[in-house]
Chain A
Amino acid sequence: MMPGKWLDIGPTTQIEPGMAATLPVEGGEEIAVFHTVNGRFYALVNSCPHRQGPLSQGIVHGDSVTCPLHNWRISLSTGAALGDDSGCTPTIPLKIDGGRLFLLREAVVAPRGAAGPRAA
């Protein structure tokens, strides 16, 4: 069976608005899936561009998250650090269909920043 292009990660209702949930990837980098108070969903690598703080644990406000370690503010849509800080966290394409969340499979298992398949 051919795996689909999109990876079903379950219903949208499993993440409360204003919160995030984590998705470890074996041999890869953990992903954080965010649900904003305004009902938007985003997926990013769960790692702050500053010193790899787990973004999933930050306070979500508007479409950004404040990293729990040193308060950098990261854009959920682009992954870029906001304000005076600079750096960028990879984002994962996400879509919603029939009340379920899907992540682009190749982005989930692709190595950080680069293209091509990830070595397991």
Chain B
Amino acid sequence: MNAQTRMEDMVSAREKLVVIGNGMAGCRAVEEILERDGDRYDITIFGAEPRVNYNRIMLSPVLAGEKTFDEIVINSAEWYAENDIELVSGDPVSHIDRTAKTVLSQSGRVEPYDKLLIATGSDPFIVPIPGNDLAGVITFRDLDDVDKMLAAAEKGGDAVVIGGGLLGLEAAHGLSLRGMKVTVVHLMPTLMERQLDEAAGYLLRQELEKRGQTILTGANTKVIHGMEGHVAGIELEDGTRLKADIVVMAAGIKPATGLAKSAGLECERGIVVDDHMVTSDPDILAVGECVQHRGACYGLVAPLWEMCRSLADHLTDAPTGYAGSVTSTKLKVSGIDLFSAGDFSGGDDCEDIVMRDAARGVYKRVVLKDNKLIGAVLYGDTADGNWYFDLLKKEEDVSDIREGLIFGQAFASGGALADPNAAVAALSDDAEICGCNGVSKGKVVQCINDGAHSLDAVRSQCKASASCGSCTGLVESLLSLTLGGEVESGPASTCKCTSFTHDDVRRLIVEKQLKEIPQVMQELHWTTPDGCSSCRPALNYYLLCAWPGEYEDDQKSRFVNERLHANIQKDGTYSVVPRMWGGVTSPKELRAIADVVEKYDARMVKVTGGQRLDIFGIRKEDLPAVWADLNAAGMVSGHAYGKSLRTVKTCVGSEWCRFGTQDSTGLGIKIEQMTWGSWMPHKFKIAVSGCPRNCAEATIKDFGVVCVDSGYELHVGGNGGIKVRATDLLCKVETEEEAMEHCAAFIQLYREDAHYLERTAPWLERKGLDWIKAQMFDDPERVGRLARRFRYSQQFMQDDPWARRAAGERADLHRHLATVRPMETEYA
């Protein structure tokens, strides 16, 4: 009796703690409290799932068949018993009564509390599209979800995973190991875009595709189709349909705030808590993914360990406070090493250090700001991930180890680091410098001593750094060590993002079959994550030229004029120049132009120096409509904006002129019809004059034809503009067909060889007329082959960009998001 009373006294003396959510944060919080003061609270935990607490992050290995459920249990039934904790599992809390200080469960159980802890985690985000409630649409959050996926996988078939983030990719990996044919549908252009930059996302995608998964990026799911109430397939915004036996929704998570919201607790994205994890009600705390702390919500476990510590300190009267977390991510897909931490979006006040080793498939990038490491992305070699993460969290000043930082801890801490040259000097003569060509340090030094005084000379004489280029830095160090200040600089590199020259880049794109911008940047060791406004348009052109019909133009690598197919003016409006073949026009065309000028209030219409009309002052929103009107009169884009064929100027020629020797107007029109639409390294102008009086100024054009009695003189490499250069005579031919064939061949040679933004005049001076002649005439087949390649690529280029825009393509480039009206009118 006495004993009984004492027990009751004790029980009632203990404060009652009720925990909602038997997950990773809820249980960890309890463990932390018990560790500090095992007797303080009488604890009841409600869990919606009918089981003990397990390690949720290990659901991925369970799905992949690498672990069993028993192996991932964190708190077994014995743990609850030993610590005198009552676990109410499979019975979610449905209501909180803050006045009575009780909670009500689904089964009707009422439990009073002194302190209440909400740890409800997150709910999967269900994309709001028709069909999202069909049987076979599965989320990836708890063991039941895994069981559903396993049951489906047993029957094989097709799985579509919506979402290419961490969860989606782990689900995809598991399902494909379980024998399903998996397609990942991801809204953004890069996988795991929140954890990875474009370059690492690209490598990841390549690897997953190699493993047989289909990855669709930039893909927006429109509907999930069903048959007899079960998933049958999905349809994307662009009309693509995919068969699916199951659809896994892994498009994101949202903090589970429903219960807290209806209890009137302050919630924004998550349940708002202070540094001690206390909500707007001092007796109610919250922890884990359901909370929002200092504006941040987390979706990873590391922060919740820290939250739980501060929460337990507070509940045991020794408050410390949580200050927010820096997080890092790893993908749990066997054989793929990937790590990211902190802020790697970069920026102008930040400095990027990038190392790429194409041969090993490695990409590493660290981001520094004010001499501190603020972000890191590693792919292929994550050995130093923890070291970087540590530097990042400690906010250590890394200026002393900056030079060696990207090579990792072993190198950076090796002593000889402040000066990378010193590290190279310390290498033995046998040390391998260039892995691709097996060149040792001794050989490179000897080659330099033998007269190779520039990077280029070393590359051509001993092959070091001539292949993948990853040892360029080492070779440069050896040059300056051996020669002191006398290193000669070779041809300039494409831009500051790479040490490769334009020629190297063009050659390697073809040799290595590089077909996308991120792939070029990876394989050629770009030192910036996504290039700059100089190299991006250049790479876009080089790829377009190398892979006609195959490469998909990258609009975001285009200068605005080529993106909007009109010329931007100083006031932000555009000018529109329709093509007028050979400078010849008609009443119908003139009428259409006149109508456009009036209809769209164009402020000026002017005859250009290129024998056509330019309409000025069109707004970007009106461009598609203007083009539709011009198209209706049979006119197409004049590419007055493009690194492409501009105009073919002509004179009246034999048809009218008393001196004319050939039909220069007719030939000009034919040439323009053959060459329009082609993208080139720079703008390209052509003219055809009917006699040597040369009224069309053919001898200052990129390609000029001067007609004579006996045929056609073909001239190349002329330029008006900044530095006037008269053409050189390429050759003389007898027929129109030959003139056109040579024109096509010359253009193609220029397209395939010149550097981006190099017009024919400087190109010809750099290469020499003899070189050009040799390229075209040494082999009698050559002109034909070049011309054929030009015609092949024209198949894909000669489709009027205006017509496509007028028909609605890329309407997003022309419209505004919305118009904001001042508040007074907005709510009137």
Contact = CB atoms under 8 A, between A and B. Distances in A.
B820 A109 contact: yes
A23 B821 CA distance: 10
Given A18-B556, A57-B564, A62 B189 contact: no
Interface of A: 1, 3, 7, 9-10, 13-19, 21-28, 31, 33, 36-40, 51-54, 57-64, 66, 68-69, 71, 73, 75-78, 80, 82, 97-98, 105, 108-109, 118, 120
A61 B530 contact: yes
A14 to B, nearest CB: 7
Given A17-B193, A62-B529, A71-B533, A23 B220 contact: no
24 contacts: A1-B827, A3-B823, A7-B820, A16-B218, A17-B190, A18-B189, A19-B555, A21-B817, A22-B817, A23-B818, A26-B825, A38-B197, A51-B570, A59-B556, A61-B530, A61-B531, A61-B533, A63-B350, A64-B347, A76-B347, A97-B268, A98-B254, A105-B823, A109-B822
Given A10-B817, A33-B817, A109-B820, A16 B564 contact: no
A9 B817 contact: yes
Given A22-B816, A71-B533, A118 B198 contact: no
Q: Tell me what chain A mostly uses at the interface: helix, strand, loop, or mixed.
A: loop
A68 B826 contact: no
B197 A66 contact: no
Given A61-B531, A68-B568, A97-B269, A26 B188 contact: no
A120 B559 contact: no
Given A13-B187, A16-B556, A59-B557, 4 more contacts: A37-B198, A57-B568, A61-B531, A64-B348
B245 to A, nearest CB: 27
B824 A120 contact: yes
A53 B570 CA distance: 7
B530 A120 contact: no
Nearest to A48: B572
A37 B557 CA distance: 11
A59 B559 CA distance: 6
Nearest to A83: B348
B347 A69 contact: no
A1 B828 CA distance: 10
B348 A109 contact: no
A6 B407 CA distance: 45
Contacts of A14: 812, 817
A39 B345 contact: yes
Contacts of B269: 97-98
Contacts of A18: 189, 530, 556
A38 B819 contact: no
Contacts of A51: 570
Nearest to A24: B819
B556 A23 contact: no
Given A39-B194, A64-B347, A69 B568 contact: yes
A98 B817 CA distance: 18
Interface string B139-151: 0000000000000
A60 B532 CA distance: 8
A77 B198 contact: no
Interface of B: 187-190, 193-194, 197-198, 218, 220, 254, 268-269, 344-350, 352, 528-533, 536-537, 555-561, 563-564, 568, 570, 572, 620, 812-813, 816-827
Contacts, number: 159
Contacts of B560: 57-59, 68
Nearest to A76: B347
A-B complex: 5 closest residue pairs judged by Cβ atoms: A18-B556, A63-B347, A66-B533, A57-B560, A59-B533
Given A57-B560, A63-B346, A75-B348, A37 B530 contact: yes
Nearest to A46: B572
A95 B703 CA distance: 53
A25 to B, nearest CB: 4
A17 B450 CA distance: 50
Contacts of A3: 823, 826-827
Given A61-B532, A71-B533, A16 B812 contact: yes
Nearest to B348: A75
B277 to A, nearest CB: 22
A77 B348 contact: yes
A19 B556 contact: yes
A78 to B, nearest CB: 7
Contacts of A54: 568, 572
B348 A63 contact: yes
A62 B528 contact: yes
Nearest to A96: B269
Given A18-B556, A38-B197, A69-B568, A23 B823 contact: no
A59 B817 CA distance: 19
Nearest to B193: A39
